[in-house]
Amino acid sequence: MSKKAVVAMSGGVDSSVAAALLVEQGYDVTGVMLKLWRGEAENNNSGCCNLGAAEDARRVADVLGIPFYVFNFAEDFERSVIADFHATYAAGRTPNPCVRCNQWIKFETLLDRARQLGADLLATGHYARVIKDGDRYALKRGVDKSKDQSYVLWMLTQDELAHVAFPVGDQVKSRTRALAAQLGLRTAAKPDSQEICFVRNGDVGAYLDQHVGRKPGEIVDADGTVLGRHDGIGRFTIGQRKGLGISVGMPRFVSHIDAVGGRVTVGSRADLAVAAFSAEELHLVDADLPPGSGIFIQHRAHGEVNPGEVVARGRDRIEIEFDTSVEAVAPGQSAAFYSTDDPDLLLGGGIISETASAVRTRGVVAS
């Protein structure tokens, strides 16, 4: 009897080819689309999670000869991912809804549903690799480093890794598109999704004004001098240069956001330098990371990787110092940790909670 696989099909080329590869490998494949919206989809330009994407996925399933279903997870999505997005911005932090969607929807709710249906695997179109080593599983970067998505998968557990697959992770994106074209899949040349699926037209500021509300406040420099006013902290993120609404004759960047006081602090590029940070919701894929451990840290999707050292660790919290200061590390974003022995090996990650400026004493983590 063939093994069963459920493939989360977003309507894009990657998940389309993931389904095709599993069919080729002899799996009994079922495609599913997650309906994450109520009524009309908010952002039909996002490339996924809308009615057009559902039709693309259904057509691909027809070509592959596999059943296709739409699962309505709108209530779960609103209660978890969207609620977290609102709360994180209201707290002056920068959320990553794709991380939360993976954590709470795809690899929790959907994986549970797939296993209830008797599936051996849940597959997605992520560019990452699951490697079995004895009775343990390692999670590694995808072969195509320019498309690697292991950064948004740091929360996966050993039990989850035993039941997930990333079929396109072993190939480069150009190969994925070539395979889709060979198979006659309508998603072969479809652009990658770029925007947040629930934010209409990608306008985060307007979305936050409507759903979180405005909280006007001051824009100040590092000394507290008032430079201007703003309509709401939701329109700002650490490291932002454009759209500040002030003119001081020189470039200024957002260096701190005070959610309680509604105050946005701006400074020079040097003020963005961070020497250390703490992260909460710590999860380790298959590692220990005691104090003194050297690691590579990635704090943005497709961002640079920087060396650092673990200085303190608790059950759910970790403190890390960078070897050399790093710019614009934003609370609310994910920090993913990679091995210095094997830079492709994901060790774990967490949500950045506090940062320490490089101009302050190293080792003291402060917001």
Name the catalytic one among 48, 49, 98, 101: 101
* Closest by CA position to 162, among listed 285, 334, 345: 285
Pairing of strands 263-267, 305-313: unpaired
Give one word for 328, left, alpha or beta, with left for phi > 0 and alpha for psi -120 to 50. Answer: left
| pLDDT tier, 49 (very low <50, low <70, confident <90, very high otherwise) | low
Mean pLDDT to the nearest integer, 186-206: 85
| Strand-pair partners of 128 | 141
Please name each of the domains of the chain with its CATH number: 4-200 (3.40.50.620), 214-267 (2.30.30.280), 271-357 (2.40.30.10)
Pairwise CA distance, residues 332 & 4, whole Å: 37
Catalytic residue check, 101: yes
Pairwise CA distance, residues 121 & 114, whole Å: 8
Helices (H), ranges, the chain:
13-24, 51-64, 74-77, 83-90, 97-101, 111-116, 158-161, 173-183, 204-211
- How many CA atoms within 13 Å lie on the side-chain side of 357? 13
Q: Which two tokens stand for residue 2?
A: 């063939």
Pairwise CA distance, residues 226 & 224, whole Å: 6
**Percent of the chain whose pLDDT exceeds 90:** 75
Which of these ranges, 42-46, 84-88, 181-185, 187-191, has the smallest mean pLDDT? 42-46
* Cβ 34 vs Cβ 8: under 8 Å: yes
Pairwise CA distance, residues 340 & 295, whole Å: 5
Pairwise CA distance, residues 348 & 138, whole Å: 10
pTM for the model stands at 0.92
* Closest by CA position to 259, among listed 35, 123, 94, 42: 94
* Closest by CA position to 64, among listed 100, 102, 25, 37: 25
Pairwise CA distance, residues 5 & 309, whole Å: 40
pLDDT value of residue 43: 52
Which of these ranges, 150-164, 188-202, 293-307, has the smallest mean pLDDT? 188-202
Catalytic residue check, 197: yes
What's the whole-number average pLDDT of the chain?
Answer: 91
